[in-house]
Structure 1
C-alpha cells in the first residue's frame, strides 16, 4: 500500500473552496473527509490558523479558540478582543456545529470583517448555533455539501492507495460496506483483508474490524439506553425487521429515538415498515461487542418470533434456518433444506453450502445430499460435488429426483471436471432408470446441451427432436429445451432468431415467482453472443452487464463473474478499447478457480488483449496458464485461445503462422466462430485466402456482410467505405485497420491526397484504441513498408539474425538482407536497435 492515504478526487469541491473569497461552509456526514478537504484546500498557504471545536470545549466561551488567543481575556468586550487577536488571512474552523454561542458569534463576525477568510466544516443534519446557520442562510458564504464517495471515486481512491488495480466486485463490495465513507473505507483497507491475486487486489477472507474502526463506529453510535441497545442488537442479527416485530420484541419508543439519532432507517415496504441499521458497519461493530450467550439469545428470539408470525416471505425461511443454526437449536432438515435452496437462489453460496451440510447432518437424506452437491458445484468444488452426488446416486428415489440428480451430476462432470464421457454415461444410465416421458425428455435435453457444448450441433438437434416427439413438455422441460434451442441458434449463426427467442423466453422467466439465475445466465450469455455476431455492441454490452449482475449481492457465484466479465472484455476489445478490455480480463481472470471450463475463454481474452497491446510475453503466459487450468471440452473454450494465439504469433512477427492457425481453426468450427476466424486472416493481410469463403457464409447480420466486403476490397475507396462501416458499428480497431490499409492502397495507386486523408483518419481512429498495435496499424508508424518488409523488420527488431529470419520465413538469407536494406532506406534508420525503437513506438 502507498505510504499515506491518498487525496483523490474532490477536484470540483477543492476548486470551489479555494475560489471562495470570504470563505465557505463545508457540510457532510461523518467520515466523508471534510477536514481532509479543508486541509488540502489551505495546503501551502501562509498564515492559516485552525480552531477545532469539541463537546468539551463548548462548555467554555471561546473554548475552541483558546489555543489561538492570549492567555488573559480583557475585562471588557471579549468578542472584540478575540476578533482583534485573530488577525490571520485564513481561519479553518473544524466541526463548527459544536461551537459555543460566543465562538459561533466570533466566526460570524470574522466572516463579515474584511481580511479573514473562514473555512468551516460541520456535520450535516445536525443542529448548529444560530450564528453559524446565518453564514449561508444570509448568503454571507456558500455552503458546500460534501457527499460520500461515489463508486467511481471509491475505485480511484483504492487504486491510488494500493498502487494497483482493484477488482470491480471488490470495489463494489467495499463501497457498499463503507457507503462511500472515506474514513471507514481507509480502515477497511488497513485491516489487511485485501490481497493481490494475479496483479489485481481482491477481497480475501471475512470482514475484519480494526480497533480504530471499532472505536470510530462506536463513537458514532454513542451512548444508548438498554432498550435502544436491545433494538440495535436485534437489527444487527436480523435486519431488516418489521417495525411491528421490533415493537413486540423490544420498544417502539426506542426505535423512534434511534431513528431521530440517524442510527436506524425506517422505510415503507408495501404495507409494512422495515427497519434497518443506518450503516452496514454498525451491525459489524454491534455483533463484535456481543458475547456468545448474548448472540444466541438474540437469534433464538428472532427465530421464534418470525416462526410464530408464519414465515410469510421467501426470506423468512432462510433467516429462520440461519437463526436456528446459529442459536444451537435442534436441526430441522426440512427447514435447513428450504433455507439452502433460498440461499442458492439469491447466490449467497457459502451460506447455502453451510445450510446444505447442516441438512445432511440433521438427517435430510438424499434430497439434502442432492442440494449440497448442487451448491458445491456452484461454488466450483467439483470433485467434492461428485463425491456427494455419487453417494446420493446409490440411494433409492423417485423418477423426478433421479432425473434431476442425473442432470445435475452430468453438468458437474462435464462443465466442472471436464469429463464429458462420464457425463454422457450418467445420462444414459438415468434414461435407463426412468420411464416417465417427462423424465426421459429431460435426460435427452441434457444430452443435447452437452452435444452443443462439445460442438456437435447436428447431434444436439437430433436429440431435441427426439424429446419433442415424445409428447408435451412439463413447464420445467419447456424451459430446459428453450435454453438448449437458444444455444443451438447462436452456434448456427442465426443471431437474430436467437435474440428473438431469448426475448420471448426472458419475458416468461420474468413472470416466475422464484428467480432462475442459472437459466437466466445461460440465456443472457447466448443473447450477448448473438448481439456480438450481429455487430450490435451496445446490446451486447447491456446483456453482459445484466449477466454480471446475476452473481447476487454477495459476489460468490464465480460463473457469472467469469462468463460475463469475459463477455464485457470482448465487447471492449471489439470497440477498440483494448486497455479497458485488458483491465476487465485481468479482473476476471483473478477469480478463476484452479480448474475451470471458463479458463479458455477468460484467459484467451486476456492473452488477446495483451497481444494487441504488444505485450507478447504476458500473452504467452496467459496462454500457458490456460493450458494448465482449462478444460477444453468444446469450441467456446478452444476458439478464444486459438484467436489469442494467432495474434500472439503475429506479435512475435510470425504473421504467416497466425494466418495458418486461423485457417486451420476455421475448418470444422461452428458457424458463429467462422466469420471472426476468417476476418482475422483479412486483418493479417491475406484477404485473398478467404474472400470467397466469407462471401459464401450463411450467417446473420451486417457485421458478417461487412467482413466479406472488407475481404473483397481492392482499392483505397472501397477500404475507406469499409472503415466507415466498422466505425458506424463501433468497431474502432477494425475501422482503424481498414483506414490504414486504405492509405497504403492509395499510395500504391499514386493518389497522394487520398492517402493523406485515409492516414489521417487511421491516426484518429487508432488513437482511440488505447495503444493497440497490429500489423495493419504499423502502417501508421512506417507507412511505406510492404507486408513482407514489415514482417522481416519486426523479426529483425526482435534481435533475430538474417539466417534465423530466413529459416522462419522459408526464404534465402540474401532475400532477408536485401529486404532489410530496403527497410533501412525507407525508414531512415540503419541498425536493428533503431528499427526496434521505431517499430515499438506506441500507436497513440
Structure 2
C-alpha cells in the first residue's frame, strides 16, 4: 500500500480551483476530501499560506491567523493591520465555518481588496459566519459543491493506494460502505478488510472499522436521547424499516428529530416510506455500543413485528430468519429453509450455508440436507457437497426430492469434481427410480447438458430430443432448462443465430419466473456470449458477459460467475486488441478459481494468452502450469482455450511452426464454435494456404476470417484490415495491415507498402503493447524530430504558412518537409496524417 493516500480523479474540480482568479469556496460534507483537493490544486503554486480554523482558535479574535500576524497588534485599525500582514499571494482557509468573527471579517476584507487569492473550505449544512457567507452571496467568490467520490473515482484511488487490481465486487462494497467519503474509504482499507491474491485485492469481510474511524463517526452522530438511540438501534439491526413499522417500535418524534439532524433519511420506495441510517457506517458504531442482551431484545422485537405484518416482501423472510437466529435458537426449519433459498438465489452463499445448517439443527431433515449440499456446490466446496448429497441419497424421497437431489448431485460430480461418468450414471439411476414424467424429463435433460459440455454435441441433441418425445413438457423449470440446453448446443455447433433466437425465447421465460434462477440465467448468458463472439458482435458479447458477472450478487460469493464471465470479458477485450485490459480482467477472474476445478483451463488459458501476446512469457507459462495442475480437462470448452494459449506461447518464443502444428491439431478436436478462431490463428501466424478451404461458418466474422485466409494481394489484405477495424478487432486489423505491407513490398510497390506499414503501426499503438509474429518486423515510421514536429502541427489543421510562422522557417521548408513525411508514412494529406498521428 502507498505510504500516503494517493490523489486521483477530480480533474474538473482541480481545473476549476486553479483557474479561479480571485479564489473559490469549496463546500462539502466532512471527509469528502475538500482539504486534499485544495492542497492538490495549490501544490505547485508559489507563496501559499494556510490558515486552519479550529473551535479552540475561535475563542480568540484573529486566533486562526495567529501564525501569520506579528506578535504585537497596533493601536489603530486591527483589520487593516492584519490585512497588510498577510502578504501571501494565495491564502487557503481550511474549515472556514470555524472562524471567529474577526478572522471571518479579515477573510472578507482580503477578498474585497483583491490582492490575495483566497480559497476556503466549508462543511456542508454547518452554521457559517456572516462574513464568510457573504463571499458567495455577494458574488465575490464562486462556490463549488464537492460531491463524494464516484465508484469509478474510488476504484482509481484504491488501485493506486494498493498498487494492484481491486476486484470489482470489493470496489462496490467499499464504495457502498463509504458512500464515496475519502476519509471513510481510507480507514476501511486500513482496517484490513481487503486481502491480496494473485495480484488482485479481494474483500475478505466481515466489515470492520478502525478505532479512529469509529471515534470520527461517533463524533458525527453526537449526543443522543434514549428514544433517539432506540430508533438508531432498530435501524442499525434492521434497516430499511418502513416508517409505519418503525413508529410501532419507537417514538415518531425521535425519528423526526433524527431526520432534522440528518442522521436518518426518509424516502419513498414505490409507495412505501422507508427509513434508513444516513450513512451505512453509522450502524457499525451503533451496534458496537449495544450489549448482547440488548441486541437480542431488539432483534426479537424486530422479528415479531415484521412477522405480524405477514412477511409481505421477498426479503422479509430472510431478515426475520436472521433476526431470530441472531437472537437465540430457532425451532422453525421451514422459515430457515425459505430464507436459505432466498439467500441462495441472491448468491449470499455464506448466509445461505448458515441458514441451511441452522435448519438441519432445527430438525429440517432431508430438505435441509439438500439445501446445504446445493449451497456447498455453489460455494465451490465440492467434496463437502458430495458427502452431504451421498448421505441424503440413501433416504426415502418422493419423486421431486429424488430428482432434485440427483440433478444437483450430478452437477457437483461433473462441474465440481470432474467425474462425468459417475454423474451420467447417477442421472440414469435417477430417471429409472422415479415415475413422474416431469421428474424423468428433468433427469434426462440434465444428462443432455453434461453431454454438450464434454463435447458430444450430436448425442446431447439426441438426448434432448428424446426428452421432449417422452411426453408434453409442462414443468416450467424443465421448459427453461431445456431451452437453455438447446441454446448451448446450437451455440457450440456454430449455429449462432438460431442459438440467440432460443436465448431470447428462454430468457423471456426466465424473466417471468418467480425466482431469479441465477444458474439457468448463467448458462443462458454463456450461450449468448459465445454466439455473439462467433458473430463478431463484441459489444453484445461484452454486454452479456457483464450481465453474467453481475450474477455474482451483491455479496460477491459466487465465484463461478466471476470466473466464467470475467474470462469472457477478457476474451472480448483481447479480440478488441485491448490486451493489457484483457490481462487485468483475466487476473481478476483467475483470483476466484478454486484450488481445483473445471474452469481452470478456460480461465487460465485466456490469462496465459494475454501474457503471451504482451511478451510476458514466464508469466504465461506459469499460468499454463497452474492450469495443468489445478484444472479438470473435461471437454472442449475448457481444454481448447488452454491448448490455444499454449500455441500462442510457443509462437511468442519463436516456435511459429510448432504453434501452427498445435493449432491445426487442436482444430480437429474443437467444437464448431471454436474451430474458425483456431484456423484463423494459423492465418495470423502466416500460413493461410493451410486453412483457406477449411474456414466455414455463419456470420460476418467467420466470413472475414475466410477472406483473410484467401487474400492474395496487398489490396485484398488492406480491405480485410479495414473490415477488422470496423468490427472492432484492432489487433487483427493491425496484423492484416502488416501482412499487406509485406505483400506490397514483395511486389515492389514501395509507396503502398509504406502506407500499409504505417497504418499497421498506427493500429498496433492501440493494442496496449501486444506483440505477435505478424507485427515483429513492423517499423515505426522513421521521422526526424523536425519532421514529427511539422507533421503534428499539420495534423492539427495548421496551414503551411501558420506552421512556418510558428517555427520561424520558410513556407517552402514546411512544404518540403511535409512531402518527405508523406513519403515515409505513405499517407497523402492532412486528414490521413491526423488519423495516423492523433488517432
Tell me how far apart the structure 2 counterparts of residues 141 and 782 of structure 1 sit (CA, whole Å). Answer: 51
Q: Per the alignment, do residues 87 and 511 of structure 1 end up closer, same or farther by CA in structure 2, a change over 3 Å counting?
A: same
Which residue of structure 2 aligns with residue 773 of structure 1? Answer: 771
Could you list the per-position Cα deviations for residues 621-650 of structure 1 after superposition, in whole angstroms to 9, with x for gaps in the alignment? 100000111111111100100110110010
CA RMSD of aligned residues (A): 1.8
Instruction: Indicate the residue corresponding to 2:752 in structure 1.
Output: 754
**Alignment pair present for 1:358 and 2:350:** no
Query: CA–CA distance in 1 between the matches of 2:201 and 2:57?
Result: 43
| 1:408 aligned residue | 408
For residues 532 and 411 of structure 1, the distance between their equivalents in structure 2, rounded to whole angstroms, comes to 26
Partner of 2:641 in structure 1?
640
Alignment partner, residue 375 of structure 1: 375
Partner of 2:610: 609
Query: How much does 1:131 deviate?
Result: 2.1
Compute the displacement of 1:42 (Å).
3.1
1: CA distance, partners of 2:330 / 2:539: 53
Contact 1:744-1:779 within 8 A present in 2 as well:
no
Match of 1:149 in 2: 149
Distance 2:67 2:648 in 1: 68
Does the alignment pair 1:560 with 2:561? Answer: yes
Q: 2:572 — aligned with what?
A: 571
Contact 1:719 1:741 in 2 (8 A): yes
- Shift of residue 770, structure 1, vs aligned partner: 0.8
1:103 maps to 103
How far did residue 95 of structure 1 move? 1.3
What do residues 139-168 of structure 1 show as CA deviations (whole Å, max 9, x unaligned)? 211112222222222122112212222222
* Aligned counterparts of 2:759 and 2:67: Cα–Cα separation in 1: 65
SS in structure 2 of the partner of residue 120 of structure 1: strand
Q: SS in structure 2 opposite 1:779?
A: coil
| 1:250–1:89 distance in 2 versus 1, CA, 3 Å | same
Counterpart-to-counterpart distance in 2, 1:12 and 1:330:
55
1:798 maps to: none
Which residue does the alignment assign to 2:704?
A: 706
Distance in 1 between residues matched to 2:41 and 2:379, nearest whole Å: 48
Determine the C-alpha separation between the residues in 2 that align with 1:729 and 1:46. 51
Given that residues 614 and 771 in structure 2 are in contact (C-alpha distance below 8 angstroms), is that contact kept between their aligned partners in structure 1?
yes
Q: Secondary structure at the match of 1:776?
A: helix
1:683 Cα deviation after fit? 1.0
**Residue number in structure 2 paired with 1:462:** 462
In 1, Cα distance between equivalents of 2:489 and 2:426? 23
The alpha-carbon deviation at position 51 of structure 1 amounts to 2.6
Instruction: Report the CA distance shift for 1:678/1:64 in structure 2 as closer, same or farther (over 3 A).
Output: same
SS at match of 1:40: helix
What residue in structure 2 maps to residue 330 of structure 1? 330
Alpha-carbon contact 2:155-2:171 (below 8 Å) kept: yes
Deviation of residue 92 (structure 1)? 1.8
Residue 274 of structure 2 aligns to a residue whose secondary structure is strand
Answer yes or no: is the 8 Å Cα contact 2:262–2:278 preserved in 1.
yes
Tell me which residue corresponds to 1:736. 734
Q: Distance in 1 between matches of 2:446 and 2:277?
A: 45
Who is 2:305 aligned against? 305
Query: Following superposition of structure 1 onto structure 2, how do residues 73-222 of structure 1 map, counting pairs within 5 Å?
Result: 78-222=78-222
Please give the alpha-carbon distance, in whole angstroms, between the structure 1 residues aligned to 2:537 and 2:11: 36
Decide whether the 8 Å contact of 1:527 with 1:543 is kept in 2.
yes
1:692 alignment partner, SS class: coil
198-207 or 370-379, which moves further after superposition? 198-207
Note the alpha carbon deviations across 1:343-396, whole angstroms, 9 max, x for none: 011111100000011001110000010011111111111110111111111111
Q: TM-score, normalised by structure 1?
A: 0.90
Distance 1:461 1:521 in 2: 20
- Sort the Cα spacing of 1:122 and 1:108 in 2 relative to 1 into closer, same or farther, 3 A: same
Q: How far, CA to CA, are the matches of 1:78 and 1:517 in structure 2?
A: 72
Matches within 5 A, 1:241-260: 241-260=241-260
List gaps (5 residues or longer) in structure 2.
Answer: 782-838
Taking the aligned partners of 1:538 and 1:40, their CA distance within structure 2 comes to 38
TM alignment of 1:284-323, pairs within 5 A: 284-323=284-323
Contact between 2:533 and 2:572, CA under 8 Å: does it hold in 1? yes
Q: Distance in 2 between matches of 1:324 and 1:601?
A: 42
Bigger Cα displacement from structure 2, 311-320 vs 139-148: 139-148
Counterpart in the other structure of 1:720: 718
> Structure 1 residues 373-382 or 510-519, which shifts more?
510-519
Inter-partner Cα distance in structure 2 for 1:620 and 1:127: 62
For 2:85 and 2:723, the matched residues in 1 are separated by 72
Helix, strand or coil at the partner of 1:627: helix
- Could you tell me which residue of structure 2 aligns to residue 480 of structure 1? 481
Secondary structure at the residue paired with 2:209? coil
- Are positions 1:665 and 2:666 aligned together? yes
CA distance in 1 between partners of 2:46 and 2:650 (Å): 60
User: What is the distance in 1 between the residues matched to 2:677 and 2:88?
Assistant: 69
Which residue of structure 1 lines up, in the alignment, with residue 805 of structure 2? none
Q: Secondary structure at the match of 1:388?
A: helix
Aligned positions of 1:518-597 closer than 5 A: 518-597=519-598
Distance in 1 (CA, whole Å) between partners of 2:126 and 2:259 is: 13
1:293 CA drift (Å): 1.6
For 2:709 and 2:780, locate their aligned partners in 1 and report how far apart those are by CA, in whole Å: 23
Structure 1 residues 602 and 109: CA distance shift in structure 2, 3 A: same
Deviates more, 1:34-43 or 1:217-226: 34-43
Q: Tell me, in whole angstroms, the C-alpha distance in 1 between the residues paired with 2:278 and 2:395.
A: 49
In structure 2, what is the Cα distance between the partners aligned to 1:684 and 1:39? 53
Runs of 5+ unmatched residues, structure 1 = 784-843
Partner Cα distance (1:463, 1:130) in 2:
81
The equivalent of 1:841 in structure 2 is none
In structure 1, the residue corresponding to 2:312 is in which secondary structure? Answer: coil
Q: CA separation in 2, counterparts of 1:50 and 1:232?
A: 39
Determine the C-alpha separation between the residues in 1 that align with 2:773 and 2:46.
Answer: 57
Is contact 1:737–1:762 with CA below 8 Å preserved after alignment? yes
> Do 2:480 and 2:509's aligned partners in 1 also have CA atoms closer than 8 Å?
no
Report what 1:501 is aligned to: 502
Task: Return the alpha-carbon distance in structure 2 between the equivalents of residues 574 and 125 of structure 1.
Answer: 50
CA shift, 1:522, in A, is: 1.0
1:215-230 aligned at under 5 Å gives the runs: 215-230=215-230
Post-superposition Cα deviations, 1:402-447, rounded to whole Å, max 9, x if no partner, equal 1011001100110011111111111111012101111111111000
- Per the TM alignment, residue 56 of structure 1 is displaced from its structure 2 partner at its CA by 4.2
The question of whether the paired residues in 2 share the 8 Å contact of 1:28 and 1:145 is answered with yes
Q: CA deviation at 1:104?
A: 2.4
SS in 1 for 2:698: coil
TM-score (norm: length of structure 2): 0.91
Q: Is the 8 A contact 2:758 2:780 kept in 1?
A: no
Is the 8 Å Cα contact of residues 331 and 358 (structure 1) preserved in structure 2?
no
